[in-house]
Structure 1
Amino acid sequence: MLIQEKAERLFEALKKEKGEGCESEEFVASKGWFMHFKDRANLHNLKVPGEAATDDAKAAGDFPSALAEIIREGGYCDKQVFHVAETGLFWKHMPTHTYIAKKEKAASCHKASKERLSLLLGANAAGDFKLKPLVCLAENPRAIKGIWKGLLPVIWKSNKKALVTLSVFEDWFTNHFVPEVKDYCASRGLPFKVLLVLDSSPCHPANLNDFHPNVKVVYLPPSTTSLLQPMGQGVIASFKAYYLRRTFAMAFRATEKDKELTLNDFWKSYNVLASVKNISDSWDEVKQTNLNAVWKKLCPQFGNDFHGFEDSVEVVIKNVVELSKQLDSEVEVEDVTELLASHGEELSAEDLTQLKQQFVEEEDTPTPEPRRFTSKELAGPLP
């Protein structure tokens, strides 16, 4: 019912935006429409809101012992057990009271930037091997045109929804996860047999166990993700805090180097290529000890004694506030906390419309023709 209601609100918002000529357009988010939508989006394991939370707690309490038995039978060590999780990131969204956000709010017909991308982050239980981050955004942002995607410090995937979809995940699993982990196992003198723990997200194929004989996939019980998922025990939250700190630090360095450059000027020049660099560097900041410790709930036999993140979210927030003061901004702790929490908020109809326009603008930008070489140029030395 929530999805049906959301679809109808979005339809009305789009109808209002289009204006004249759309009065006769009709749309009914019926039960039949929802069933077709569910099939197309590969939604599964839906849980009716309001079901007893005790069932979730019981499942979360029982699952670690079941997983421990799977690990024991398979002979997996902590280096061979992996987990990945998806998350959203508003890569160009600033705290409410920054100079940038104030200007955006004051500008007519313009909402505060909510340019969104999706991330897939993961590592093994030992914490000594981080998977290369997967970033999902539009096909050809202007900032990366002419750049070979293989040179980026992340895995670049694309679709109009800026989401890790079923097809994106399958491609990532086959062409990135399997080769990366195979090489890692070889470098550690381990046999290539791994266990991948996933939640029940719609983008995770239900038959993933059939994809590769050396990769066993185990799914967390429905509605236990927040209780058990390792990446959700502080890793993703810390990563996003590190990302915000790096963005502010980048702005500070830029304005210090060029005294004529304002924060507003910097933010106009901050593009998705710079964001990708910050994403990679922020992921590098997550410590091995923390990546290992967050498995304590799911795999107590692997997790070390967890005394908290070395660089906690609270510490990073204070760093951001200090940096903002050097940028003559008015950011307070509450503003930064609110921003970090906003990454998980439901998008409004206006937000979704804005994202749709973002993709249209990207598609309207012509893609430059790839450079062609003559046989004479190919025969000569590379530049």
Structure 2
Amino acid sequence: MSANESEIQEFIGKLDAKINELGLVPEQIYFADETGLNWRQLPTKSFVTGDEKKVSGRKLQKERITLMVCANASGSHKLKLLVVGKSKNPRALKNVKVESLPVTYMCQSRAWVTKEVFHDWYFKSFVPQVKQELKKEKLPVKALLLLDNAPGHPDKDELKVKTADGYIEVMHLPKNTTALIQPMDQNVIKTLKAHYKKRLLMDVVSRPNDDIAAILKSFNIKDAILNAAFAWQQLKSTTLIKSWKNIWSNNPHLTTCNSSSNDFESILEGRLHLQFVTM
């Protein structure tokens, strides 16, 4: 409710002008955003069979990591997830090379994306991955990354990168507008978490003879990382494309995107089926 509609329209106009000025196509326009994930937390609602009168409660697990998702406006390039944990060398990753993980793993004492963490991710992960993707697609190596105004996001002047074809640069959204126009808030993060929880639930119900508390206790940060990477992989390109409708309606991929497909609804149907099967 605190969002300024005039600022939103002004920013959309500036974004269109910047895209035209740089001659960018959807494959060259990216958005990144972070979210917290309680990686041991099962769905909070309980289901019981017809012959059960009640179900025992359990304490919610609150071990948290931060995920940062980043993808382009065509849905053709999803960068590796950034996972920020509290420990530099988690016990579960003792014999694992961090470089071999399907995510980019970094650490911070509170598992937050700070300016230092973001700066590291931007230059060591984002820029190399984008350059490689654009070369593979035979596109000029220039790109635009959109960000909100979170405290952990550095100033745009700190992130500009000169390339042979132009620049990789950053634009920040106006304040208090993320819920309305930020692409990753338009069902992308919600769907990612639904995929993750579905995967976690499947891990639990595949061991029907074991105590749930014991199963969750044995679940470690490596399992969480692999499940998060799998969940990100499952996200459909149509979900990513449609997330841009409020901020860049001129995205040409929106016209060919099937409006009837709903990634999040399909997950809910799958989760409900799983719950009935296990009863």
Given the two structures, how large is their TM-score scaled by the length of structure 2?
A: 0.87
Q: Deviations over 1:33-89 (max 9, x none)?
A: xxxxxxxxxxxxxxxxxxx73x62221122212100110011111111111001111
Aligned equivalent of 1:186: 135
The answer to whether the 8 Å contact 1:252/1:326 transfers is: no
User: Does structure 1 residue 167 correspond to structure 2 residue 120?
Assistant: no
The answer to whether the 8 Å contact 2:160/2:170 transfers is: no
The answer to whether the 8 Å contact 1:199/1:229 transfers is: yes
- Which one has the bigger strand percentage? 2
Describe how 1:118-129 pairs up with structure 2 within 5 A.
Answer: 118-129=66-77
User: Does structure 1 residue 311 correspond to structure 2 residue 263?
Assistant: yes
Aligned mate of 1:157, from 66, 87, 106: 106
* Residue 216 of structure 1: how far off its partner (Å): 1.5
Aligned mate of 1:226, from 179, 182, 188: 179
How far, CA to CA, are the matches of 2:17 and 2:160 in structure 1? 23
* Residue 321 of structure 1: how far off its partner (Å): 3.9
Amino acid corresponding to residue 227 of structure 2 in structure 1: N
User: Does structure 1 residue 240 correspond to structure 2 residue 193?
Assistant: yes
Task: Return closer, same or farther for 1:273/1:102 CA change in 2, 3 Å cut-off.
Answer: farther
How far, CA to CA, are the matches of 1:75 and 1:226 in structure 2? 28
The answer to whether the 8 Å contact 2:119/2:154 transfers is: yes
The answer to whether the 8 Å contact 1:60/1:221 transfers is: yes
Aligned equivalent of 2:216: 267
Aligned mate of 1:89, from 25, 37, 41: 37
* Residue 284 of structure 1: how far off its partner (Å): 0.8
Gaps of 5+ in 1: 1-51, 106-111, 329-383
Amino acid corresponding to residue 297 of structure 1 in structure 2: N
Task: Return closer, same or farther for 1:75/1:96 CA change in 2, 3 Å cut-off.
Answer: closer
- Which one has the bigger helix percentage? 1
Instruction: Count matched residues.
Output: 264
Q: Deviations over 1:320-371 (max 9, x none)?
A: 344345445xxxxxxxxxxxxxxxxxxxxxxxxxxxxxxxxxxxxxxxxxxx
Task: Return closer, same or farther for 1:144/1:308 CA change in 2, 3 Å cut-off.
Answer: farther
Q: Deviations over 1:254-309 (max 9, x none)?
A: x26xxx43433322221111111110111011111221121111111115146265
How far, CA to CA, are the matches of 1:158 and 1:96 in structure 2? 28
How far, CA to CA, are the matches of 2:56 and 2:44 in structure 1? 7
How far, CA to CA, are the matches of 1:95 and 1:69 in structure 2? 43
The answer to whether the 8 Å contact 1:96/1:102 transfers is: no
Task: Return closer, same or farther for 1:308/1:84 CA change in 2, 3 Å cut-off.
Answer: farther
How far, CA to CA, are the matches of 1:326 and 1:266 in structure 2? 20
Gaps of 5+ in 2: 48-54
Aligned equivalent of 1:323: 274
Q: Deviations over 1:137-158 (max 9, x none)?
A: 1222221122111111110000
- Residue range with higher mean Cα deviation, 72-81 or 285-294: 285-294
Task: Return closer, same or farther for 1:162/1:276 CA change in 2, 3 Å cut-off.
Answer: same
Amino acid corresponding to residue 241 of structure 1 in structure 2: A
2:4 counterpart SS class: helix
Describe how 1:17-96 pairs up with structure 2 within 5 A.
Answer: 53=2, 56-96=4-44
The answer to whether the 8 Å contact 2:43/2:197 transfers is: no
* Residue 102 of structure 1: how far off its partner (Å): 4.6
The answer to whether the 8 Å contact 2:103/2:225 transfers is: yes
Q: Deviations over 1:237-264 (max 9, x none)?
A: 01101111111112233x26xxx43433
Amino acid corresponding to residue 71 of structure 2 in structure 1: A
1:127 counterpart SS class: coil
How far, CA to CA, are the matches of 2:10 and 2:246 in structure 1? 11
1:304 counterpart SS class: helix
How far, CA to CA, are the matches of 1:165 and 1:272 in structure 2? 21
How far, CA to CA, are the matches of 2:203 and 2:92 in structure 1? 17
Q: Deviations over 1:210-232 (max 9, x none)?
A: 54122121111111111111111
Given the two structures, how large is their TM-score scaled by the length of structure 1?
A: 0.64
How far, CA to CA, are the matches of 2:44 and 2:138 in structure 1? 50
Aligned mate of 1:200, from 137, 149, 159: 149
Q: Percent identity?
A: 33
Aligned equivalent of 1:24: none
Amino acid corresponding to residue 191 of structure 1 in structure 2: P
Describe how 1:282-301 pairs up with structure 2 within 5 A.
Answer: 282-301=231-250
Describe how 1:127-146 pairs up with structure 2 within 5 A.
Answer: 127-139=75-87, 140-146=89-95
How far, CA to CA, are the matches of 2:247 and 2:17 in structure 1? 12
